[in-house]
Amino acid sequence: MYEHDVNTRSENRSEPVSTASSRILALFDDPDFIVLDGAMGTMIQKADLPSVRHPELYNITHPDAIHAIHKAYLNAGSDIIYANTFGASPSRFAEEEYSFEEVIQRGIELAKEAAAPFGAKVALDLGPLGVLMEPMGSFTFEQAYDEYAAMVKAGAKAGADLVVIETMSDLQETRAALLAVKENSSLPVMVTMTFEENGRTFSGTSIEAAALTLEGLGADAIGLNCSLGPEQLAPLAARFASCSSLPIVVKPNMGLPDPLTGQYHLSDDDFTAAARKLVQAGARILGGCCGTTPSTIEKLSQMLSTQKPIPSSRSLDAISSARQFCLTDQIHVVGERINPTGKKRLQAALLEGDLDYVARLAIEQKEAGADLLDVNVGHPGVDEVEMLPEVIRTIQSVCDLPLLLDSSNPQALEAGLRIACGLCAINSVNRSEKSLNAILPLAQKYGCPVVALCLDENGIPETVEGRLEIADRIARAAAHYGIRPERIWFDALTLTVSAQQDQAPITLQTITELCRRYPSRTILGVSNISFGLPQRQLVTQTFLAAALQAGLNFAIINPSLAPLMDTIRAFNVLAGYDEGSRTYIEHYAQAASSTPVSRPSASASKAPSLEEAIYKGLEQEAASACKALLAQGVQELEITSNYLIPALDRTGTDYEKGILYLPSLLQAASAAQAVFEVIRQSLASSSKPRVSRGTVVLATVHGDIHDIGKNIVKTLLENYGFTVIDLGRDVPAQKVFDTVKEKNIRMVGLSALMTTTLPAMKETIELLHTLENPPKIVVGGAVLTQEAADSMKADWYAKDARQTVQIAEAFFEGKGAPDGSPASKGESE
Amino acid sequence: MKLHPSVMQTALRYCGVRDPEDPLWKSRMEELADSIDEYICFHYAYRIYPISFQDGQPYIRQKKPKRLPLEGELARTLLSECTKVVVIGATLGLAFDRQLRILEKQNPAKAICFDALGSALIDRKLDDLQDSILAYLNDLEGWDASSPPCFFTDRFSCGYGDLPLSLQKDFERMLDLQKTTGIHVLDSGMMSPTKSVTALIGISDYPQPARIRGCAHCNLSSSCPYRKGGTVCHV
């Protein structure tokens, strides 16, 4: 896995694609450079127009001023001008006098009128929506897509020559915009994102991840704009150029603004001198952003007329998440654990919608050393088309490894590819016509590598030649879709050695031959080899070593199995991939010297009892003690009621007395979670139903994005055996209402941190009270008081998580008996 | 990352550990502090604006809109001897929130400690930033008629005391915070990333007393559990 520092190993790069074929360059007569315009905002400020909320309104209220700005840039030498449509989104203009369509229509018209005499082109300009996207915010990919799609349709209808997506910071929002352009117009599209000096956007996207994702999705030119001056952007532009075959666009600021005056510090000459470095870095499409003016563009244009472009680079052969990328040569570990086949605990989690479990699997695999994660949710009773995107969202909110989307359902794959941020790979296509026709178009559309299984309608050939013949047919079909050979990851297929012993060498020989014949990659699910044998790990480990020797690139394994990871690290040393054995030494030297200090652990030699382990927050000891009780024949339910809950009660009481601090209470909760995990595994493996003490819907109300308090409540409620439906944060009242109605929920917990979000809490309660049989509602959060809870007609106020548990126990089981409508309230602090 | 002891102590207090020398939680907090650097990308933006007064109430003078009133007694008192204000927006960045989310899934106790550490750290970073802005201004020669030295008031934020939270949206616009720092101010006034702050500091020609820092200036001084226990909440 790489942060950046792309080296120039030729094997990581695809064959060069001539940028002459770029649809942006093709707008002109194969120019050396394209000159863009400079800042619109700076010029509007200079024009001293009356203050408005959205400067795109000037297209209608002050068209002459906007026309004059365009004309000034065209006179200065701009080949492409950006229409004044940057923020003209449907939601921003919902309450304006003019619609976004009118503003875009007029904006494009003005630009076209100005551009016509110059033979220049006009871009529909799309900026960020000003919203906070998932997972940090609540604006969804589809909402963003809809906003951009409406703008694209309006811009295309108005006659824009191309589309520019610029000043983007969030890669997922950028993907939504780009996909909206591709699916709603046939216009060429340039995409520029805003990077900090460290080569990352504010949301953490690296240049390589951006380049891979945007090129994969079909951008015609990519690059950066805003944030910094040309000097600072030059090394970042070079990184862009080194990993993409597309023309590179750069629109820098006029340096940095002075905090006293707000003025940018570079002169036109300084800007132009520094812009030469952008040319040397590989930029071919240049203009200016904040602070630049027509005189800047004039000087830039003059300078460019004396320069020759640097030949374009080749695309990086890699996949990525929003933050990290992974080159596809050498050896990589694909975590296999997010696949319900044969895993009852995961099956149960998917059926129950317990995505926290999936999130933990992702985190664990990353920590164990996986480079990418296979994601498969196929199981009877699970709607893959709905579940795959949900699982991807969950994983990507906590784990930044690239993903391998694994499904035999093309609709599910497309739903997943649409939502997955970064450049994923598809697992898998096979030789059957049905599969080729369904999967390869997806790989083409999303620019993804695809796993190619060496099998067809008749199954897996038993000979090397048979498998190679299939590989060849798939490679030819992929080429038909423009999929490069490096983007095909052949799977020679593992068969169980205990059943078909002769097939293990066939698999290995096929890998060797595939590596010899194609510049493609190879991938293999390794674990299946040892099924049915004792000491499985020995066989799996040996087979893995043999497959690596045969040339395997991607090993699909359980990275938590140390011997398999040991084999990979050792092989990387022997094959020379781990230069100077650095990774190996770092890992094993550390392992040899480290002592387990990171996790609370019992120092006494005698294992603590379950209650003691929970009280002290000793996760592993608590899990072990629970396993020991199960082994003695104690029933799961008995463990919960006789051991776990009394231990939690003791912890809670000591917390209330001030003997334990809040973190200690939570550490005990973690230990209890570990016990619950053992109990759930046990119930799942014996197909016993899980017993719930009651179901509670939890939500942090609309407008409120701080949810650590709500999450503590969730943890404790789950500890005590309640089922929690966690709707998350910033939850609209309607979503709470719909969930309660659909699932006939009897208790709801609402949280708010700030006074400004109390109205949203009140609104949610009022809406819930319109139900024929409204649920009981408990409220909490930093600004809540008993009085506030009463005035909103909540049933209870809980001062903390522990009290919420007591209320839930009383409500569902009559313990301590709160009588509901507002009585038996929690004490306020 | 070696954090200042005051940051560690503040963080412990924020997450409910009343004894800052508690060996168990002190060591766990230190463990988190060791790697916190990986998850911090401190971004800030600030501008200095002139202020004027109408009937004793300050307002920021800018181009558009020309006046931004700073309502309430807090602004009135703190800025009474000032000619300018520094408007700041700063954040620890989104990587912190992301790591917090991961810790919440893994270990809620660690998560709450990490959260507290972030809260303490952003405040400390703003203290350092404030010092550097003051040094910068006092190094400038003749940046306006009121030549150096200049003096800062206490730093204060929207939603604190009676300074309206709604100002946060104005600060977002004035500093173009989404573009310059990645901070989003939601309609509720909340900010993302969560460890983000906007603040005002008055600039005066005269030394400014501490008006809101310290027990004497705190609204909770009469009911403060720390004072009752013979300690203070600040370090």
Residue type, A240: F
Q: Which of A136, A201, A755 sits opposite B192 (nearest CB)?
A: A136
Of the pLDDT bands very low, low, confident and very high (cuts 50, 70, 90), residue A13 is very low
For residue A280, the model assigns a pLDDT of 97
pLDDT in tens, A468-512: 999 999 999 999 999 999 999 999 999 999 999 999 999 999 999
For residue B20, the model assigns a pLDDT of 82
DSSP-H helix ranges across A243-377:
268-281, 294-304, 344-352, 355-368
The segment with the largest mean pLDDT, out of A19-33, A221-235, A780-794, B52-66, is: A221-235
Overall average pLDDT of the B25-36 stretch: 92
For residue A17, the model assigns a pLDDT of 38
For residue B228, the model assigns a pLDDT of 66
Q: Check if the beta carbon of residue B192 is closer than 8 Å to that of residue A133.
A: no
Q: Cα distance from A359 to chain B (closest Cα, Å)?
A: 7
| Residue of chain B whose alpha carbon sits nearest to that of A599 | B28
The number of C-beta contacts closer than 8 angstroms across A and B is 138
For residue A673, the model assigns a pLDDT of 87
Q: Which of A204, A664, A665 sits opposite B95 (nearest CB)?
A: A204
For residue A7, the model assigns a pLDDT of 36
Overall average pLDDT of the A784-800 stretch: 92
Touching check for A60 and chain B: CB below 8 Å? no
Touching check for B149 and chain A: CB below 8 Å? no
In the three-class reduction of DSSP (H, G, I as helix; E, B as strand; rest coil), residue A329 is classed as coil
The per-residue b/e assignment along A413-438, b for 16 or more CB within 10 angstroms, e otherwise, is bbbbbbbbbbbbbbbbbbbeeebbeb
Bond preceding residue A135 cis, omega within 30 of 0: yes
Cα separation, A36 vs A59, whole angstroms? 20
Q: Which of A130, A200, A715 sits opposite B108 (nearest CB)?
A: A715
Q: Is the pLDDT of residue A18 over 60?
A: no
For residue A605, the model assigns a pLDDT of 54
Q: Which of A51, A667, A705 sits opposite B190 (nearest CB)?
A: A705
Beta carbons of A715 and B165 less than 8 Å apart: no
Beta carbons of A753 and B194 less than 8 Å apart: no
Q: Check if the beta carbon of residue A452 is closer than 8 Å to that of residue A430.
A: yes
For residue B222, the model assigns a pLDDT of 67
Beta carbons of A756 and B189 less than 8 Å apart: yes
Q: Which of A262, A617, A663 sits opposite B15 (nearest CB)?
A: A663
CATH of A610-685, one of 1.10.10.1100, 3.20.20.70, 1.10.1240.10, 1.20.1560.10: 1.10.1240.10
Domain boundaries along the sequence of chain A: 17-315, 328-559, 610-685, 695-813
| Residue of chain B whose alpha carbon sits nearest to that of A759 | B188
Q: Which of B65, B133, B188 sits opposite A704 (nearest CB)?
A: B188
CB contacts under 8 A, A 106-145 vs B, are 128, 130-132, 135-137
Overall average pLDDT of the A587-592 stretch: 78
Query: How much of chain A exceeds pLDDT 70, in percent?
Result: 94
Q: Which of B65, B143, B179 sits opposite A51 (nearest CB)?
A: B65
Q: Which residues of B touch A200 (CB under 8 A)?
A: 41
Touching check for B115 and chain A: CB below 8 Å? yes
Of the pLDDT bands very low, low, confident and very high (cuts 50, 70, 90), residue B141 is low
Beta carbons of B100 and A664 less than 8 Å apart: no
Of the pLDDT bands very low, low, confident and very high (cuts 50, 70, 90), residue A148 is very high
Touching check for A669 and chain B: CB below 8 Å? yes
- Least reliable range by pLDDT among A102-106, A528-532, A769-773, B18-22: B18-22
Integer-rounded Cα radius of gyration of chain B? 19
For residue A1, the model assigns a pLDDT of 52
Q: Which residue has the higher pLDDT, A704 or A379?
A: A379
- Least reliable range by pLDDT among A16-25, A101-110, A420-429, B180-189: A16-25
Beta carbons of B113 and A202 less than 8 Å apart: no
Residue A231 tokens read as 């000097």
Touching check for B210 and chain A: CB below 8 Å? no
Beta carbons of B46 and A259 less than 8 Å apart: yes
Overall average pLDDT of the B225-230 stretch: 66
Contacts of A108 (CB under 8 A, 6+ apart): A83, A85, A122, A124, A155, A158, A159, A160
Q: Which residues of A touch B229 (CB under 8 A)?
A: none
Of the pLDDT bands very low, low, confident and very high (cuts 50, 70, 90), residue B148 is low
Q: Cα distance from A664 to chain B (closest Cα, Å)?
A: 7
Q: Which residue has the higher pLDDT, B222 or A395?
A: A395
Query: How much of chain B exceeds pLDDT 70, in percent?
Result: 86
For residue B217, the model assigns a pLDDT of 61
State pTM to two decimals. 0.89
pLDDT in tens, A160-200: 999 999 999 999 999 999 999 999 999 999 999 999 999 99
Backbone angles phi, psi at A786, to 5 degrees: -60, -40
Beta carbons of A667 and B41 less than 8 Å apart: no
What is A695-813's CATH topology?
Answer: Rossmann fold (3.40.50)
Beta carbons of A705 and B111 less than 8 Å apart: no
For residue A701, the model assigns a pLDDT of 93
Q: Check if the beta carbon of residue B137 is closer than 8 Å to that of residue B148.
A: yes
Q: Which residues of B touch A708 (CB under 8 A)?
A: 100, 104, 111-112, 115
In 3D space, the residue among A422, A488, A48 whose CA is nearest the CA of residue A216 turns out to be: A422
Q: Is the pLDDT of residue A112 over 90?
A: yes
Touching check for B220 and chain A: CB below 8 Å? no
| Residue of chain A whose alpha carbon sits nearest to that of B107 | A670
pLDDT in tens, A401-429: 999 999 999 999 999 999 999 999 999 99
Beta carbons of A398 and B105 less than 8 Å apart: yes
Average pLDDT, chain A: 91
For residue A821, the model assigns a pLDDT of 39
Query: How much of chain A exceeds pLDDT 90, in percent?
Result: 77
Q: Check if the beta carbon of residue A601 is closer than 8 Å to that of residue A647.
A: no
Which of B64, B102, B180, B195 best probes binding to A when mutated, by most A CB atoms within 10 angstroms?
B102
Q: Is the pLDDT of residue B156 over 80?
A: yes
| Residue of chain A whose alpha carbon sits nearest to that of B144 | A260
Average pLDDT, chain B: 87
Of the pLDDT bands very low, low, confident and very high (cuts 50, 70, 90), residue B170 is very high
For residue A601, the model assigns a pLDDT of 46
Same CATH topology for A17-315 and A695-813?
Answer: no
For residue A8, the model assigns a pLDDT of 31
CATH of domain A328-559: 3.20.20.20
CB contacts under 8 A, B 35-94 vs A, are 41, 43, 46-48, 63-65, 93-94
pLDDT in tens, B189-198: 889 999 999 9
In 3D space, the residue among A644, A773, A771 whose CA is nearest the CA of residue A716 turns out to be: A644
Beta carbons of B192 and A51 less than 8 Å apart: no
Q: Which residues of B touch A751 (CB under 8 A)?
A: none
Beta carbons of B98 and A704 less than 8 Å apart: no
Q: Which residues of A touch B189 (CB under 8 A)?
A: 754, 756
CB contacts under 8 A, A 166-195 vs B, are 167, 169, 194
Touching check for B225 and chain A: CB below 8 Å? no
**DSSP assignment, residue A774?**
P
Q: Which residue has the higher pLDDT, A92 or A7?
A: A92
Touching check for B178 and chain A: CB below 8 Å? yes
CB contacts under 8 A, B 19-38 vs A, are 22, 24-25, 28, 31
**Are β-strands B184-185 and B151-156 bridged in parallel, bridged antiparallel, or unpaired?**
unpaired
Q: Check if the beta carbon of residue A430 is closer than 8 Å to that of residue A459.
A: no
Q: Which of A363, A664, A756 sits opposite B105 (nearest CB)?
A: A363
Class of domain B41-228: alpha beta
Q: Check if the beta carbon of residue A251 is closer than 8 Å to that of residue A41.
A: no
Give the sheet arrangement for strand A121-126, strand by strand: A34-35, A283-286, A248-251, A221-225, A189-193, A162-168, A121-126, A80-82
Cα separation, A354 vs A684, whole angstroms? 13
Which of A667, A707, A726 best probes binding to B when mutated, by most B CB atoms within 10 angstroms?
A667
Touching check for B16 and chain A: CB below 8 Å? yes
pLDDT in tens, B67-102: 899 999 999 999 999 999 999 999 999 999 999 999
Q: Is the pLDDT of residue A4 over 70?
A: no
Overall average pLDDT of the A537-544 stretch: 96
Q: Is the pLDDT of residue A784 over 50?
A: yes
Q: Which of A260, A262, A658 sits opposite B143 (nearest CB)?
A: A260
End-to-end CA distance of chain A: 49
Which of B49, B98, B132, B150 best probes binding to A when mutated, by most A CB atoms within 10 angstroms?
B98
In 3D space, the residue among A78, A47, A77, A46 whose CA is nearest the CA of residue A64 turns out to be: A47
Of the pLDDT bands very low, low, confident and very high (cuts 50, 70, 90), residue A813 is confident
Overall average pLDDT of the B199-209 stretch: 91
What is A17-315's CATH topology?
Answer: TIM Barrel (3.20.20)
Q: Which of B48, B93, B109 sits opposite A666 (nearest CB)?
A: B109
